[in-house]
């Protein structure tokens, strides 16, 4: 196992553990609403900030092997021998890679709107918009939001990104995510996950009907890698299923877990 970092976490509820991994530019709080409802249904929800996101350490390297190793170390450090695992977007690829490396640590696997394939660039505009702002010299959050809104058309994306803006101890503001490293590692984030042997962990892929991340043409390849595979589609949802259709997503999650 390569050098790992201690991941920031938040745990709510009691019962069978389910670990939740956020996507690129995100953090654990993105899944707080779903986690609370899962906790109310009898699960111990463990939300993690992946490395270089949220309150987890900033590092010098970023790829899916490192992310999976961080997760394995977290489970070992916290005496979690087996758990359910759910990941969205980039977190979904982390979860898939983890399942390929540590199937014995998993009860069930839930992948929210992500496949295993190499994806095309879809974030360069966001990276540029974020890095073009000198947040150390702005006076308030609304100034950052105004600049972002000029460069990013979707208001929901702007609000999502603003959650990662925080006050800096040095004055001004800072991004919680390690933007320079994520940008230099972007090819690693887009790359396909290599699965050497079929995964027998019960796995549910949940996609948004309006999302292009998991296409019908991807299904055959997914089935070839996951021996215990099922696919669910949430109607009238895009990539951000947990924000757009939380109740429908929760229903599918609970049905699969039970």
Active site residues: 89, 239
Q: Which two tokens stand for residue 6?
A: 């201690």
Alpha-carbon torsion, ordered 241, 242, 245, 250, to 10 deg: 120
E strands, 152-228, where?
165-167, 173-175, 203-208
Query: SS3 for 129?
Result: helix
Alpha-carbon distance 33 to 90, whole Å? Answer: 19
Alpha-carbon distance 19 to 21, whole Å? Answer: 7
**Side-chain half-sphere exposure of 45, counting CA atoms within 13 A:** 24
Alpha-carbon distance 54 to 104, whole Å? Answer: 28
* Phi and psi, residue 238, nearest 5°: -100, -145
- Distances, alpha carbon 94 to alpha carbons 72, 222, 249, in Å: 11, 16, 20
224-228's contacts with Cβ under 8 Å and 24+ in sequence apart are 224/198, 225/116, 225/195, 225/198, 225/199, 226/198, 226/199, 226/201, 227/198, 227/199, 227/200, 228/200, 228/201, 228/202, 228/203
């Amino acid at each position: 196992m390569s050098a790992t970092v201690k991941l920031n976490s938040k745990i709510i509820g009691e019962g069978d553990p389910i670990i939740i991994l956020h996507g690129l530019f995100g953090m654990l709080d993105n899944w707080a609403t779903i986690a609370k409802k899962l906790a109310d249904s009898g699960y111990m929800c463990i939300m993690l900030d992946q490395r270089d996101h949220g309150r987890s350490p900033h590092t010098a390297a970023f790829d899916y092997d490192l992310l999976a190793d961080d997760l394995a170390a977290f489970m070992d450090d916290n005496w979690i021998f087996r758990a359910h695992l759910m990941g969205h977007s980039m977190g979904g690829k982390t979860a898939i890679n983890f399942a390929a490396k540590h199937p014995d640590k998993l009860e069930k696997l839930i992948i929210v709107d992500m496949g295993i394939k190499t994806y095309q660039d879809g974030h360069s505009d966001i990276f540029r918009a974020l890095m073009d702002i000198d947040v150390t010299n702005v006076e308030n959050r609304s100034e950052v939001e105004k600049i972002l809104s000029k460069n990013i058309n979707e208001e929901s994306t702007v609000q999502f990104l603003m959650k990662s803006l925080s006050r800096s101890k040095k004055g001004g503001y800072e991004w919680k995510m390690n933007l320079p490293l994520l940008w230099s590692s972007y090819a690693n984030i887009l790359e396909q996950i290599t699965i050497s042997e079929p995964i027998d962990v019960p796995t549910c892929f949940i996609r948004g009907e309006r999302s292009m991340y998991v296409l019908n043409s991807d299904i055959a390849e997914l089935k070839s890698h996951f021996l215990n595979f099922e696919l669910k589609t949430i109607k009238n949802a895009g990539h951000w299923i947990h924000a757009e259709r939380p109740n429908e997503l929760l229903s599918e999650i609970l049905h699969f877990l039970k």
